[in-house]
Amino acid sequence: MKNINRIRCVDIINEVKLNLSLNDITVVFDDININEIPNKGIDSFLYFNTMDSEKEKEIYNSLSEEKKLKYKTSSCAIHYPNISAYELSSIYKNGDYTGLYDIINEMIKDLHINSYSSEIILVIFTFLHELGHWKQLAEFDYVVCDFNSHYYLDYQTEEKLSKRAEKLYEDYKEYHHLIEKLNPVDIQSLSEEEVRILEPFVFGLNRIQREYRNIPKEMEADNFAKKMLQNINLKTIIYSLTGID
């Protein structure tokens, strides 16, 4: 039996790809320093990129506006951090103040998958969410311009929300040292007064994250992930990974 804490995201995602016959889905596993994540959130390391090849971007940029409109990408990719499932889960739980860990768990709690390792499910769900974005692009036959203009309003909302988050961090810049203690290990060391100071900060980030999940583009990807989670053979995947039947 393998130690669940050591199972790497790459192995889980490869099992899911195998289970769903997703040979043509490119996933890039990026080496990251997990100590650098907390203030930016995991989003900056886990995303879908419509055009991942620098060479293709160059070619695309040299095209006429007319040709750009019809250009189909051949290098879309999902970026995923090259860490263990346990590390990913700890980042969501401890280093991300947006409440995303709870939001995801709320979304999947009705799927009757509680008996499986929550760390592994988190990896599978976040991967399937990005796969949902891949599917959105595929529906536009990989024409990036069509995809982008279809979700234009969503991108604008996303930008507004990320500006709001940036402003929150800016407003609480002087409490940076306290914000870093907002994790289960250190939170006890905060005084009642300090917790009171940070309340609007945490509340603000939670609200932004919930509004983000309501953006149609994101909601679609979440719904896709939920549907897929019910369709894949979790038992087989978990068995291949852990040897636990």
Q: Residue 112 corresponds to which tokens in the numbers above?
A: 């009757």
Q: To the nearest whole angstrom, how small is the minimum distance from the Cβ of residue 212 to Zn ion?
A: 8
Q: Which residues of the chain form contacts with Zn ion (CB under 5 A)?
A: 218, 221
Phi then psi dihedrals of residue 43, to 5 deg: -50, -30
Segment (H or E) for 178: helix 176-179
H/E stretch holding 156: helix 152-171
Q: How far is the CB of 132 from Zn ion (least distance, A)?
A: 7
Nearest to Zn ion of 87, 218 (CB atom) = 218
Residue placing its CB nearer to Zn ion in the complex, 15 or 218: 218
Nearer to Zn ion by Cβ, of 78 and 221: the residue is 221
HSE-CB of 75 using CA atoms within 13 angstroms: 11
Q: Which is nearer to Zn ion, 4 or 219 (CB)?
A: 219
Least distance from Zn ion to the Cβ atom of residue 73, Å = 17
Token readout for 116 is 């499986």
Q: Using CA atoms, how far apart are residues 159 and 161, in angstroms rounded to an integer? A: 5
* Minimum distance of Zn ion from residue 44's CB (angstroms): 13
> What residues form DSSP beta bridges with 29?
80
